[in-house]
Amino acid sequence: MRQFVAAFAVIIGASPLFAEVAQINWDDLIDQSVQIYEDPFRDLTYEQIDGVRQMVELEAEMEGENPTADAAETLAEVKKSLSEQGVDADWLISQRWIVASRRELAREAGNPANDGAIIRLGGFVIPAPPAEDGTPMAYLVPERGMCSHVPPPPPNQMVRLRLTNDWKTTETYEPIVVTGQMRI
Residues comprising the chain, all counted: 184
| Of the residues 91, 108, 125, the one at which a domain ends | 108
In a domain, 71, yes or no: yes
Full domain range(s) for residue 163: 2-31+110-181
| Of the residues 88, 108, 128, the one at which a domain ends | 108
In a domain, 121, yes or no: yes
pTM (two decimals):
0.69
pLDDT in tens, the chain (184 residues): 333 333 334 444 444 555 689 899 999 999 999 999 999 999 999 999 999 999 999 999 999 888 888 999 999 999 999 999 999 999 999 999 999 999 999 999 999 999 999 999 999 998 888 889 988 889 999 988 777 677 778 888 889 999 886 777 777 888 999 999 999 8
Backbone angles phi, psi at 9, to 5 degrees: -85, 130
C-alpha distances (whole Å) from 128 to each of 131, 168, 172 are 9, 11, 10
Q: Do 98 and 135 have their domain in common? A: no
CATH code of 125's domain: 2.40.50.870
